[in-house]
Structure 1
Amino acid sequence: MPLLAYDYCWRVNLACPRGAASPDLHTQRRLFAASAGYCQNPECECELFVDAEGKSVHVAEMAHVFAASERGPRGAGGLSKAARGAFENLVMLCANCHTIVDKAPAAYPDAMMLGWKSDHAEKLRALFGVIAFDSRQAAREAVEPILAKNRAIFEQYGPHIEAAENPESGAAERWKRKMLTHILPNNKRVLALLDANRTLLLGDERNTLEIFRQHVDDLEGFHIENLKNDAARFPIGIVSILGD
């Protein structure tokens, strides 16, 4: 199930002609979030989004651990089609790794592939530094650089820039790529950090956190699932959250 250039919507790109064994849109979103934009094979971990001749292209593919059919790679009897298309039975790989694991299934058993997924999640948690801090200042020092990075990306590539008015400039594709590879994963990191340090938040800040959570969810719905929605506005209070 190769993913094509961003000219096509994420929903079409991730579609799988497997009927009930095809993951639904919610599962597709979870897979994307779990990968954080990298192949989940620990020996690869290549970026799933690349720039090629001025176009942003993603090479991500959803790989079934137990095949979508009993006759496929790592086929297993007794699994329903819904179970085969569930989040727990899927990993996000680059096109090369997906081809390899399916052509040599004996070398890549189900336990190994599921291990890749859990190990990838542990690496991300460690990378994100999601811990409970002892003070508001320490928590702020962890959150602020991430928010600043997202702000800088928005100011340089956001849909408000002059180049975005020219459909041939490639600005829209660059913004889409920045959103998928940086802003959305960073938003998840901020949410994880704030949730882990919720006890340090004041009353108004907890409300700001929940508004930000809905903003993030709406952004994912738009950029990943191609849903047309009136996104919850970015709460300006998130910029100074955990501040003095």
Structure 2
Amino acid sequence: MSTEDRFKKSVVAVLAKRAANRCANPECGAVTSGPANESNGSVNVGEAAHIYGAHPGSARYDEKMASSDRGAITNAIWLCGNCHKRIDNDPSRYPPGLLFEWQREHENRISEQVGKTAAEVRLRYEKRHLEEFGRLSYLAERLIIEKGEYWEYLLTAEMLRFEMAPTIQRWDALKRGLYTKPIQRIDRDDSFSWLMDKSQEILLIVAAFSNITNFEIGRAWGESGVAGSDVDIVSVCRLYGEACSNTLLWEESVRFTRVDDDFSEIRDLYIGVAGDVIEQTAKIPKFLTDMVAPRPTSGTYELELTIGLPDGWEDRVDAAFKRAERAFLLDISS
């Protein structure tokens, strides 16, 4: 386990206080600290438990999660030693979603006891605010409510992972030949225009990715020193997810289409191009979490992504189009 995966002492201390030193398991609720036998001593039986496991082989481990996220308070729940052991021994019965619910409900109960009226108002606000977003991951919900340090970047990373995951999984399955679709055949007379349309479509897709990456994400984060907008961050990440989905649809349309032999060289040049775009964009969440892992106070960070077409691709396609056009015209004249 790396040092980033572990909870820092400061995280453990804050977590225990937020839980009022009580186990967050609603079926337990045991007090986790109290007096020791010595008159000036105390005993603690509470533990900061990982919701998503801290290392490979541990309960609920998610390999796609960054180390800094595993060691963050957003991935922590306060439990007594017995309940901690129970959830780790039976992770299928105690999945991450359930533990996030435990954590949220427990803190809500504690808040009500600390200041009932204020807690009720806060809960109403949180519920109404989360309703604005629709379906979110548990971690994204917690980041939106907590808004801790670097929350804009962590929320962006989590939302991008969440929104892009289905497309990335399906792209991996497509590369491995794990599914197919009905073959579409394009008539000879229509092959040229169909392939031209596909060229224009992939250029528009790349332009959309570039615009979102270079402008919209930064705009959602807000100006330096000004808090970002959680609504805008979620919205722009969903646009990213939609762009990824459309990119995969483009890749599928190319792979499962047959054109006239004179145009097959062009079609073959298209295969894999969109998948490479998806793989490049999938690097962004890790970059963001790695960026804030050292808890920087200032600095400039730059991620170089080639969200575009392979070098020389457009020239190769243009040359293939010219060869196909010559062959097409020769067939017509003969």
- The bucket for the TM-score relative to the shorter chain is 0.3 to 0.5
Computing the radius of gyration over CA atoms, which structure comes out larger, 1 or 2?
2
Task: State the structure with bigger RCO (CA 8 A, min sep 6), 1 or 2.
Answer: 1
Higher helix share: 2
**TM-score normalised over the length of structure 2:** 0.33
